[in-house]
Amino acid sequence: MESRRVEGLRARVVFDSRGDKTVEVEVTVEGYTARAAAPSGKSRGKREVKPFADGGAEGSVRALREASGKIVGETLDGPLAVDRLLREVDGTEDFSRIGGNAALATSAAAAIAYAGSGGEPLYRSLSRYLGADPGIPLPLSNVLGGGAHAGSGAPEFQEYLLIPVGAKDVMEAIEANVLAYRKLGRLLSQEVKGYPLGKGDEGGYAPPVGNRKALELVARAAEEASDETGVRIALGLDVAGSNVFDPRSGRYTLRSDGLYLTGEEMVSFLGELVDRFGIVYLEDPFSEDSPELFAELQRSVPNTFVCGDDLVVTRPDLIRSAIEAGSIRAAIVKPNQVGLLSLAAESARICHDRRALPVASHRSGETTDAYLSHFAVGTWCRLIKCGLIGGERMAKLNELLRIGEEVGSDRLRRLSV
Ligand code: 2PG
Ligand code: MG
């Protein structure tokens, strides 16, 4: 690809959707300036890169400003070429010098600026560079949240998710999920007297009900919305198993259901839920330190996509070995877990090459940026987990509608479940 010069780099502190500080970066390539900010997670995997340098977001901005002299003036020969420079200026394994969020904001801003300076949107530049066929990922939408993303009293499972597997295009996919979300709101206000329809960090309802009850209501809402629209909606779950596991007792603690389960009992319990509710996607069902339980569950529910998030933290090496060990058939791809778009793209490729499902994902603390949607379209991601309700979530879905106008909105990726 063509060589283009980095002409400027500016970094600043901004706030994410939770009100926490994060890093935003502007990069100018051949007169084209692009801006990107990094999101932040709350239920983070132990092996993720460090999100910020010493001194938090401010410390990261300082460190990046000091390093910017080694980036400005350099030439880029592709949308992901700044990533090599970022590795050099940081020089640590875990991005602790500048922080993974400063790295990602720079990586994304430079990629958008490189594409834009050539008159291209990011998704097209990425797909051309990587040799990936552009396609619109199916939205994997959080409609009910618990765990670390909600207050006490909410269910322990972190995310109750909908996948509109029967949609013919992206508009229909979003509409079906929104309708199910509204129906769920109605069901919840009947079920929980006086419940003011509070929300979790990602915009899903966060009601005071047990996990089983939450699943029942979400399943009912999905079924009613499917009947009304004719679009089949399948269910998914992010257990965020590391947060549910109590290392002192060695048990999975589902207090709202009165269940305190060993790993083996949790395998059976989740297997029952899969059968009863037809769950097709199950993320981080266990602690990130128990890959053997992932494998056991995946064997017992072969038609469900067991997905690794904290287990593999978007690292190509961990994803490859977890797929090969049979622990997962899907992996979350969260660019800020590794700090670079190029590494995240490699993770998506590894999944794709091994017939596993790459799932582009937001974080619970988000920004209104929508480069995640371009990343997903341009890099083989078959699903995009970006929430549903809330400006910072809908920004990504609305961007899919715009991209759909160019690539064809019916080029929605399929999930046969
Ligand atoms: C997850 C995410 C995003 P967080 O566990 O999948 O939904 O949460 O960003 O808090 O890690
Ligand atoms: Mg997760």
Best of 40, 161, 363 to mutate for ligand 1, by most ligand atoms within 8 A of CB? 363
Burial class (CB in 10 A: 0-12, 13-18, 19+), 19: exposed
Best of 101, 309, 338 to mutate for ligand 1, by most ligand atoms within 8 A of CB? 309
Looking at the CA of residue 201, tell me the nearest atom of ligand 1.
Answer: 10
pLDDT at 194: 78
pLDDT at 1: 87
Confidence of residue 152 (pLDDT cuts 50, 70, 90): confident
Q: Would the pLDDT of 197 be above 90?
A: no
Looking at the CA of residue 365, tell me the nearest atom of ligand 1.
Answer: 9
Distance 40 CA to ligand 1 centre (A): 9
Confidence of residue 151 (pLDDT cuts 50, 70, 90): confident
- The answer to whether 104 touches 340, Cβ cutoff 8 Å, is yes
Pocket of ligand 1 (CB under 6 A): 41-44, 158-159, 202, 238, 240, 309, 332, 361, 363-364
CA 65 to chain centre: 28
Portion of the chain with pLDDT greater than 70, in percent: 100
Range 97-118 average pLDDT? 98
Looking at the CA of residue 159, tell me the nearest atom of ligand 1.
Answer: 7
Measure the CA–CA gap between 68 and 412, rounded to whole angstroms. Answer: 39
Lowest mean pLDDT: which of 57-61, 92-96, 196-200, 301-305?
196-200
Distance 4 CA to ligand 1 centre (A): 35
Range 177-194 average pLDDT? 94
Give the 3-state secondary structure of residue 242.
helix
Give the 3-state secondary structure of residue 13.
strand
Best of 361, 366, 386, 389 to mutate for ligand 1, by most ligand atoms within 8 A of CB? 361
Distance 325 CA to ligand 2 centre (A): 20
Residues whose CB is under 5 A from ligand 2 (ion)?
Answer: 238, 283, 309
Q: Would the pLDDT of 357 be above 90?
A: yes
pLDDT higher at 193 or 64: 64
Q: Would the pLDDT of 195 be above 80?
A: no
Ligand nearest to the CA of 363: 1
- The answer to whether 45 touches 69, Cβ cutoff 8 Å, is no
Confidence of residue 176 (pLDDT cuts 50, 70, 90): very high
Q: Would the pLDDT of 167 be above 90?
A: yes
- pLDDT digits 0-9 by tens, 214-263: 999 999 999 999 999 999 999 999 999 999 999 999 999 999 999 999 99
Confidence of residue 153 (pLDDT cuts 50, 70, 90): confident
Residues identified as active-site: 202, 334
- pLDDT digits 0-9 by tens, 364-393: 999 999 999 999 999 999 999 999 999 999
pLDDT at 297: 98
Measure the CA–CA gap between 110 and 130, rounded to whole angstroms. Answer: 16
CB atoms within 10 A of CB 359: 28
Looking at the CA of residue 42, tell me the nearest atom of ligand 1.
Answer: 10
pTM for the model stands at 0.98
Q: Which residue has its alpha carbon closest to ligand 1 atom 3? A: 363
Distance 228 CA to ligand 2 centre (A): 30
Q: Would the pLDDT of 329 be above 80?
A: yes
Q: Would the pLDDT of 409 be above 90?
A: no
pLDDT at 6: 98
What region, left, alpha or beta, does residue 125 occupy, with left being phi > 0 and alpha being psi -120 to 50 degrees? Answer: alpha
Q: Would the pLDDT of 196 be above 80?
A: no
Measure the CA–CA gap between 126 and 409, rounded to whole angstroms. Answer: 19
Ligand nearest to the CA of 161: 1
Average pLDDT, the chain: 97
Distance 133 CA to ligand 1 centre (A): 27
- pLDDT digits 0-9 by tens, 91-105: 999 999 999 999 999
